[in-house]
Amino acid sequence: MTIFPAITFFHIVGAITLFISWALEYNYLTSKTQFADEEATSNQLKNCAKLAGIAVFIILGTGIWLMVAFGQYASWMIMALVSIFVIKITDVLFSRKVSSMKTQKSREMYYRVSSIRLRIAIGIGIIALMVFKPSDLLSSLFFVLISVLAGMGVIWVLPPLKRNAI
């Protein structure tokens, strides 16, 4: 028995955990109860961020191990790694925007929900890279750009929150 199935399992569990953390954050932000206690809201969002951080650590650790173990540095793998860093950059940029507007609750929630939607879209792009495994860098970049554009479209088209949450 090799270690490959175990590493692959943890890689997939990490990805599922990351999506679950985003779903929990999104659900919490769009519920009516999150406006009741600002400290509880902050703690809940920090817990979601911790869960996402652990998931990214597992994904990167197992993903890099798989790349090194098989000696493959295919373009789709490199773009998947770049996309993970783009997800983190997106999170940081939107979080900075949120922290600069503590007085406007509706705008703050809009930026938080938009950030989650964009991160989910990029995450789906990474899944597409892993499934289709494009052979060249241009095709891999195309998958990532399509996922970013889809995420931006979702942010632009769909309303940011439930009407009863504001």
161: phi then psi, degrees, rounded to nearest 5:
-140, 165
pLDDT band at 157; cut points 50, 70, 90:
confident
Whole-model pTM?
A: 0.86
Q: How many helices (H) and strands (E) does the chain have?
A: 5, 0
- In tens, the pLDDT along 97-146 reads 777 766 677 777 888 888 999 999 999 999 999 999 998 999 999 999 99
Of 89-93, 154-158, 162-166, the poorest mean pLDDT is in: 162-166
3-class DSSP assignment, residue 12: helix
pLDDT of residue 55: 96
Share of the chain above pLDDT 70, in %: 90
pLDDT of residue 87: 93
